Structure 1
Amino acid sequence: MAPTGLLEVSLSSGLSCLDDEQVVSRARAGCPQATEFLLRKYKGFVESKARSYFLAGAEPEDVVQEGMIGLYKAIRDYQSDKLTHFRTFAELCITRQIITAVKSAIRLKHAPLNEYLSLQRSFGDNEDGCLMDIVADTRGNDPERILFERQFAQCMNGRALEDLSDLEYQVLQGYMDGKSYETMSYELGRPIKAIDNALQRAKRKAGQKLCELN
């Protein structure tokens, strides 16, 4: 039986021969190596995108972490039948994640809009669209997605979640499912400020683990 390290290298080599859409298909089918392969492959792209944005009161690495979470969501939600290349979809999801962080900071801290870089600019090759024209939510509770969520945790070998408290884990899961602060506050019986604090801690811990992928 081949050592685990050699097996992982072999799998990565095999994945590098596939196009992104094929690798995503494997990731969504439950292959943790495919998920980690994409996270590693697109990490530099996320860092490049993150450098284009400034979020008052945050470190540059915080923006990268948000982008990595957006990349994970792109892998999770990509639908090949939409005739969109994965790279394009990933760019939108990464940007949407950063925009969400900006909007949350504005709403919670009541900061003036001019403290943040304008996001009303074109993206990719589409000069007629702007970054706020985000693709429709494709999440849904389909079995394939549930399997992928499970496999993602395995892909990270528990590293992204093992340090989270119960509240941080619950809030992060709600956040990934698109729940509002108000909804999570009601469901968990905690004030909105406590929800925000838990989410920031959880994203920092999970995002840091994602950023450690080399």
Structure 2
Amino acid sequence: MKSEKDAIKESDCFEELFDKYSPVIFRMRTRYYIRDFESDDWLQEGRLALLKAIKTYKKDQGTTFGLYYKTVLENHICSLLRKQEAKKRKALHQSISIENSGLELFTDYLFYNEYIEEQVSICDQFDHNRIQLSDLERQTLHYYIQGYNLDEISSMVDQEERKVSNALNRVKNKIKTEITF
């Protein structure tokens, strides 16, 4: 069993090694996008990958530890991306079309409608065609509700991301403008 002194020394060595290889995490962060990941999340995943690399690295593999760590981290990030995509696909299978089911279901996904009165009002506005949406706005809202990000939506509707972002903002503003209490 390790003494407290050994554990502290081991922890210090780990942090020193982590500091040395943390630029690998920052480069990886520029290459991959993981939804809802903040800087602390990337650092935590980098620490997990470093721990795995330390435990599995063998000097006789013919590669440096830095390169090995980069590979382990990249594989770890790819696994996270696969899980994210699997969740998105699962959500797509469970999704319901706005056009086919009415817009009453989409209110669960908007961030600013915290009260039931707002939800009812939003549904009423759409049901009575008081909120008019362009084709781009309707498509953008449809895919946004399904959980796609702006980059993905722009690819699906064949528009620049800036135009898609503006369309989504217009939809939200139209909804906010029409809700009166």
TM-score, normalised to structure 2, is 0.40
Pick 1 or 2: higher relative contact order, CA cutoff 8 A, min separation 6: 1
TM-score, normalised to structure 1, is 0.35
| Structure with greater helix percent | 2
